[in-house]
Amino acid sequence: MQVTVLAGGIGAARFLQGLITATGSTHEQPTVTVVGNTGDDIRLFGLQICPDLDSVMYTLGGGADTERGWGRANESFTVLEELRNYGAKPDWFGLGDRDIATHLVRTQALDAGYPLSSVTAGLAARWELPITLTPMTDDRVETHVVIDDPDTGAPAAIHFQEWWVRHRAALAAREFVYVGSDTASPAPGVIEAITTADVVILPPSNPVVSLAPILAVPGIRDALAHTVAPVIGISPIVGSRPVRGMADACLAAIGVDVSAAAVAAHYGSRATGGLLDAWLIDDEDANNAGAIAARGLRVEHLDTIFANPGVAQEVAIRALDLAGELTT
């Protein structure tokens, strides 16, 4: 069974751990393809940083700091300390020494002219990932957030990382803009991965800043609409709270309530021009099931809090079973 997953960062990575066990995908024979969000990418100190691709790579490669939720395990921050001693800006982004090695290799290859998809494959080779990992696009797409400038009150656009990391999403977002997405093309293999899959999964990633940038790349939403594979999503909202991260601040900006049913309605049913065939929600949100089903979606509830890889595996198994049922 070929499975394609559109992925943000750590939430997706934790789901993928379960999916890999559930599918038996291996480095030698990967049956899972992950299309990663690159809207979070940022160039700092001349280094190209791809947080979501790296979260997936480090987590599935066994090199992630699982407590912190980003960056490398056994990390040190000597370079960052030295940058701060020079007063170098920005000083709000935590670059670890081991992590910097990834960005150095990536940036050198990009600057030599290799596309991000090839560079990502090269980096992933070191980690012997049990998946095929590809960015959504080789083109530059950056998520920017329109806020009211705290000093002047005038609207201003800042990079997503500045909003997320520096301001902890505390500045009210007026709008999210996926700069460059209108002229971007899907990376090689992305459309095929969606149209030839047996199932496409939207893991519990942030709908606004993780999945929306992927869907904003021309051709990807269309491929989802037309694939014969069932499209199954897992709610990132449990009991009116994001499972992790600050998705509530993002959803507010686009006028979507923080509930499993509202996010399902935001994606919509493929039967009526939307994206999903089925939506898996947490037991805590079982009372949302009726509203979701009324929108033409197959809905099931189960434990979706990935306290351990076993829970993620159960969710993955349920998604694969559902895909089987929806296909026959």
Reduced DSSP (H G I as helix, E B as strand, rest coil) percent helix, strand, coil of the chain, to 5: 45, 20, 40
Those residues whose C-beta lies under 8 Å from the C-beta of residue 26, and which sit 6 or more positions away, are: 130
User: Which position among 15, 70, 163, 267 is part of the footprint of ligand FO1 (CB under 6 A)?
Assistant: 70
- Please pick, from the candidates 52, 75, 138, 285, the single residue that binds ligand FO1 as defined by CB under 6 A: 52
Q: Which of residues 207-236 bind ligand FO1 (CB under 6 A)?
A: none
Contact flag: residue 15 with ligand FO1 (CB under 6 A): no
Interacting positions 149-208 with ligand FO1 (CB under 6 A): 161, 164-165
Cα–Cα dist 51/49, whole Å: 6
Q: Which residue is nearest to ligand FO1 (CB)?
A: 94
Name the minimum Å distance from CB 286 to ligand FO1.
Answer: 28
> Which residue spans within 149-277 are E strands per DSSP?
155-159, 175-179, 199-202, 231-234, 237-238, 241-242
Dist CA 316 CA 23 (whole Å): 8
The answer to whether residue 99 forms part of the interface with ligand FO1 (CB under 6 A) is yes
Span from 22-30, 87-95, 193-201, 213-221 in contact with ligand FO1 (CB under 6 A): 87-95
DSSP 286: G
For ligand FO1, which is the closer residue by CB, 70 or 178? 70
Residue 117 CB contacts under 8 Å (≥ 6 apart), including other chains: 134, 135, 138, 187, 188, 189
CA-based nearest residue to 203, from 66, 36, 53, 64: 36
* Among residues 9, 18, 63, 203, the one that binds ligand FO1 under rule CB under 6 A: 9
Write down the least CB distance from residue 160 to ligand FO1, Å: 7
Q: Which residues bind ligand FO1 (CB under 6 A)?
A: 8-9, 40, 49, 51-52, 54, 70-71, 93-95, 99, 161, 164-165
